[in-house]
Amino acid sequence: MKNTKLFGLFLVIVLVVVLVISGCTSEPSIDSEAENSKTRTVVDVYGRQVEMPEKIETIAAIGGAARILTYAGCSEKLIGVTDMDKQNISAMPYTVVNAEHFASIASVGSGGSSDTTYIEELVTLSPDIIIGLTDEDTIKNVADKTGIPTVGIYPEGMFDESFFAALELIGEIMGTEDHCAEVVNKIKGWQKDLHDRTKNIPDADKPTVYTGAVSFRGAHGFEGTYADYPPFTAINAKNVVDETGKSGALIIDLEQVTVWDPEIIFLNPANMNLINEDYTKNKLFYENLSAVQNGEVYSQIPYNYNWTNMEIAVADAYYAGKIIFPEQFSDIDPIKKADEIFNVMLGQSFYEKLAADGYRFEKITIGE
């Protein structure tokens, strides 16, 4: 009788163990499979309807998209970036703040002006989604050849609606809507603040200004300039180059600068070697400029490098405001303001790193 009871107890234990094991190794439920197979559709900047998984865990960035993904607060989801994104240089702050992570993940393109996408690497990597800041033909080509959902974005300026739209779209895709909304609201707040400080100043009361040594398709000396220059436009500054009726980067005749004789000049510190070299040959031109005579020459940290470093552009606008309109910007410390902007957009202060690499807000003496 005792043995019978023990045998019965043994059978019960075996049955319980079998049920536990079978429960742990059972196939996923139909509900679980359905959850994993859910998709959704978004519309990208080119009006393309892109179907993608409901939840995105991995991203590859082509073109200049990794910078915008950093602003959007989801760079940790990147498993592929371009060779340019791995450069770890202060001229592209997002590459510095992400340096350790980017060094550990795959290269999926060359980046830069002669960008080449590495199709085979993308196929092997198989991210949930590819996000590209590049032209429509490239986006379509990558989508067709990889079979991976590919979304195009194209932010065109520091306060442009296309920039805000790109952040909002990434927030929708990645589930970082709150972060992106906060970044957009902060940028719009800075935009309004910059404009409101100077909107009521009559043109007749504004000093004339010029920005030189602007890099575009390579480095340039004093003659490299910019019409409708965003940091100047943001503060309603009186840019002499706007008289050309043009927009964007251009080369100007130095004789025309002599005619304009701007009262304040801003120069790109990265190209001061070109200006100082020219100064040795053309001293008369520089020494005849009122801004040079009066010591009104200042730095303007370059913000275009593999697309636009939006955070530097906004910081530049505040520094320019402090110099051009000191009364209206009397409460602004340009360095503290820059780090406020960097913390919102990059997640950390960054001015000290820029300064260490020679990009400072400071007065410049040409020829030194």
pLDDT tens digits, residue range 321-331? 999 999 999 99
Q: What does the pLDDT average to over 293-315? A: 95
What local confidence, expressed as pLDDT, does residue 133 receive? 96
**Quick check: 274 pLDDT over 90?**
yes
Is the pLDDT reported for residue 18 higher than 80?
no
CA distance 331 to 302: 24
Is residue 103 located within the same domain as residue 247? Answer: no
Q: Are residues 143 and 103 in the same domain?
A: yes
Boundaries of domain holding 153: 54-187
* Dihedral of the alpha carbons of 150, 151, 155, 159, in degrees to the nearest 10: -150
In a domain, 272, yes or no: yes
Are 73 and 106 within one domain?
Answer: yes
Q: Which residue has the tokens 């082509």?
A: 62
Write down the pTM of the prediction. Answer: 0.88
| Chosen domain end from 187, 210, 233 | 187
The CA distances from residue 33 to 28, 29, 36, 52, 98, in Å, are 7, 6, 5, 16, 35
The whole-chain average pLDDT of the chain stands at 91
**pLDDT, mean of residues 281-287:** 95
Instruction: Answer yes or no: is pLDDT of 200 > 50.
Output: yes
Least reliable range by pLDDT among 7-21, 71-85, 158-172: 7-21
Last residue of a domain, one of 137, 159, 187: 187
Please indicate, yes or no, whether residues 174 and 310 belong to a single structural domain of this protein.
no
Taking residues 66-77, report their average pLDDT. Answer: 97
The answer to whether residue 320 is domain-embedded is yes
Total of domains in the chain? 2
* Residues 165 and 298 occupy one common structural domain: no
Q: Residues 174, 259: one domain?
A: no
The token pair at 50 is: 């892109």
Q: Are residues 151 and 225 in the same domain?
A: no
> Same structural domain for residues 335 and 248?
yes
165 and 205 belong to one structural domain: no
- The HSE-up count of residue 143 (CA atoms within 13 Å, CB side) is 20
Q: Please write the tens of the pLDDT for every residue from 113-151.
A: 889 999 999 999 999 999 999 999 999 999 999 999 999
Q: What is the CATH number of the domain that holds 210?
A: 3.40.50.1980
Residues 229 and 175 in one domain: no
Q: Do both 219 and 349 map to the same domain?
A: yes
Tell me, yes or no, whether 368 lies in a domain. Answer: no
**pLDDT attached to residue 158:** 86
Shared domain for 176 and 94, answered yes or no, is yes
Indicate the pLDDT class of residue 36, thresholds 50, 70 and 90.
low
